[in-house]
């Protein structure tokens, strides 16, 4: 997990100074991601909840890099 500026002014300043990293990936609500992780691995989800509570407010996102993602086929109806 990469960290960066926490407020919008600092984010804009980082962009202006060229201090950002361009990442191609999928943005997923962090709280939703950890809630779904808990269904598979409760200890891993507990780690995220203990160590990164500021990320799990429902207003932050994880970005999963495209090369590490696979799309599940949509079931036909």
Domain boundaries, the chain: 23-67
For residue range 3-56, what is the model confidence (pLDDT) as tens digits?
666 677 887 888 888 877 787 899 999 999 999 999 999 999 999 999 999 989
Give the global pTM: 0.69
What residues does 63 pair with on adjacent strands? 27
Cβ pair 64, 28 in contact under 8 A: yes
Cβ pair 61, 23 in contact under 8 A: no
**Angle (nearest 5°) at CA 35 between 67 and 42:** 95
- Judge whether residue 61 has pLDDT over 70: yes
pLDDT at site 8: 74
């Amino acid at each position: 997990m990469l960290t960066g500026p926490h407020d919008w002014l600092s984010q804009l300043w980082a962009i202006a100074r060229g201090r950002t990293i361009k990442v191609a990936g999928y943005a997923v609500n962090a709280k939703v991601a950890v809630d779904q992780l808990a269904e598979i691995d409760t200890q891993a989800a507990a780690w995220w909840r203990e160590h990164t509570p500021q990320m799990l407010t429902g207003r932050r996102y994880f970005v999963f890099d495209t090369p590490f993602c696979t799309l599940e086929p949509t079931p036909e109806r």
